[in-house]
Amino acid sequence: MANLVTTYQLIADILSFNSNPKALEAQLKDEKMNWDAMVTEGSKHLVLPTIYCRLNNKQLLNFLPKELETYLAEITSINRNRNEAIIRQAKELSQLLNAHHIDHVFLKGTALLVSGYYKDIAERMVGDIDILIAEHQINKAFDLVVENGYKPIASTLGTDFFDSKHLPRLTTTNNISALELHLKLFTTYKSEHLQPKDILEHKFSDGRLYLPCNRHLILHNIFNHQINDYGTYYNYLDFRSAYDTIVLIKQDETSNLKASKNKHIIKHFKLLGIFFSDLHQTMNISISNKNRFYLLKLKYRWINNVYVKSLKLLATFSMFMHRFYMFLFNSKYRTAILKDRKRVLALIKSKLLLKSKHNSLE
């Protein structure tokens, strides 16, 4: 079984802007090099095109096995074509929203693609198109995109009783990417750093789309991983988010993050600092006991499995207790649950199996 510490360090060295090219070349030329582990972990973290582009930038592609180089080149080409289609789709949405005077800003991957942070747009894999809409215009924006060919996916009863950061996800047969219209960036977390009104007030236009300022881009990248994707809770690193961080941190506007006392920001940089030397000087990184525990989880996967399943069980129990309280004291919720009991029972069964992507250290 591959040593994940070694594999993670290799991926970080490939993505890094500060790693030693000669040392990386020596790693790639090593006869014991585990290519399968690199591809497996790179795929889990959605960074295979990033790995290819960074090796190309470092002029190290010729040290890959020819078959692997061809494979990564094909994936990167497919991703580049997809991203070009996403940018075209985003432009169409931007024109539509602007024509109806809807205050909005593109978020996350789409914003990063068009902001010029990557030498090659193929570096970043993107899923949905996320757009933050001014609260008083969110329903108007939703109706507008539906009138223009987008269809909402079937929503569950949870949308009627629990808070959500975006309206139902929208898909279209005419475009490649699904669309999420956001009211806010988090469901329950209150961030003084990322208030929707503040993001909209400080947006800028690149001539095509309205985009967040650099500070809001990096803060959203950090908090999205640490909170929405449970990075803080499960104590795990995501290389796609990590690469976005080291690309964005090169901008001067982010330097005051060094003094932040926010636990999510601190945890994000301490975990990335294990593998990325890019951040040591910039963020005054120091190794903590939690960092050592993370390395232990990488080295011994059974420790990670026990750790994650325990946290998953705790989170599931907490959710069930909250839902049970709602069932007892909210008659409308109780009626909805009973009508939808087959799906609810299936969901409970899947939760009890404790399946989580975090089991695989993603």
Query: Pick from 9, 84, 79, 86: which is nearest to 46 by CA?
Result: 79
Q: Which structure tokens are listed for 86?
A: 């996403």
Distance, in Å, from the CA atom of 362 to the CA atom of 356, rounded to the nearest integer, reads 10
**pLDDT higher than threshold 50 for residue 47:** yes
pLDDT at 357 over 50: no
Q: What is the pLDDT of residue 1?
A: 44
| Residue finishing a domain among 299, 332, 347 | 299
The answer to whether position 134 is within a domain reads: yes
Report whether pLDDT(187) > 60: yes
Residue 345 and residue 238 share a domain = no
Using pLDDT thresholds of 50, 70 and 90, give the confidence band for residue 362. very low
Output the pTM of the full model.
0.86
* Residue 265 and residue 322 share a domain: no
Is 147 a member of any domain? yes
According to the model, what pLDDT value does residue 259 have?
63
The reply to whether 218 and 340 lie within a common domain is no
pLDDT at 207 over 50: yes
Does pLDDT of 284 surpass 80? Answer: no
pLDDT band at 359 (very low <50, low <70, confident <90, very high): very low
Q: Of 275, 299, 323, which residue constitutes the final position of a domain?
A: 299
- pLDDT higher than 80, residue 252: no
241, 354: one domain: no
> Mapping DSSP to helix (H, G, I), strand (E, B) and coil, where does residue 133 land?
strand
CATH number at residue 266: 3.30.460.40
Question: Is residue 203 domain-shared with residue 323, that is, in the same domain?
Answer: no
Residues 229 and 322 in one domain: no
DSSP E strand boundaries for 252-338: none
Which of 299, 320, 351 is where one domain is finished?
A: 299
The answer, yes or no, to whether residue 163 has pLDDT greater than 70, is no
Given this model, what pLDDT does residue 282 score? 59
Shared domain for 263 and 307, answered yes or no, is: no
Q: Is the pLDDT of residue 76 over 90?
A: yes
Assign residue 319 a region (left: φ > 0; alpha: ψ between -120 and 50; beta: otherwise). Answer: alpha
- Are 143 and 163 within one domain? yes
Within this chain, do residues 150 and 190 fall inside the same structural domain, yes or no?
yes
Flag the least confident range among 168-172, 247-251, 273-277. Answer: 247-251
pLDDT single digits (tens) 92-103: 999 999 999 999
pLDDT beyond 60 at 298: yes
pLDDT tier at 327, thresholds 50, 70, 90: confident
Length of the chain: 362
Sorting pLDDT into bands at 50, 70 and 90, what band is 237?
very high
Q: Mark whether 223 and 313 lie in a shared domain.
A: no
pLDDT at 159 over 70: no
**267-298 burial by CB neighbour count: b if 16+ within 10 A, else e?**
bbbbbbbbbbbbbeebbebeeeeebeebbebb
Read off the pLDDT of each residue in 192-198 and give the average, rounded to a whole number: 88
- Give the range among 64-73, 144-153, 244-253 with minimum mean pLDDT: 244-253
Q: Is residue 185 part of a domain?
A: yes
Other CB atoms within a 10 A radius of the CB of residue 159 amount to 11
Residue 11 and residue 43 in contact, taking contact as beta carbons nearer than 8 Å: no
Answer yes or no: is pLDDT of 61 > 70.
yes
The CB-side HSE value for 43 (13 A sphere, CA atoms) comes to 9
Q: Is residue 279 in some structural domain?
A: yes
Amino acid at 67: E
**Are 224 and 290 found together in one domain?**
yes
Of 49-53, 72-76, 113-117, 201-205, the one with minimum mean pLDDT is: 113-117
Domains: count for the chain: 2
Flag whether 227 is in a domain. yes
The token pair that represents 114 in the structure block = 């068009």
Supply the pLDDT for residue 39: 96
Residue 287 has pLDDT above 70, yes or no: no
Whether 127 has a pLDDT exceeding 70, the answer reads yes
User: Residue 209 falls within a domain, yes or no?
Assistant: yes
What is the per-residue pLDDT for 73?
97
Domain of residue 185, residue span = 86-299
pLDDT of residue 137: 95
| Residue 67 placed within a domain | no
- Whole-angstrom Cα distance, residue 302 to residue 296? 10
Answer whether residue 276 is part of any domain. Answer: yes
Residue type, 125: M
pLDDT above 70 for 280: no
Let me know whether 225 and 272 are in one domain.
yes
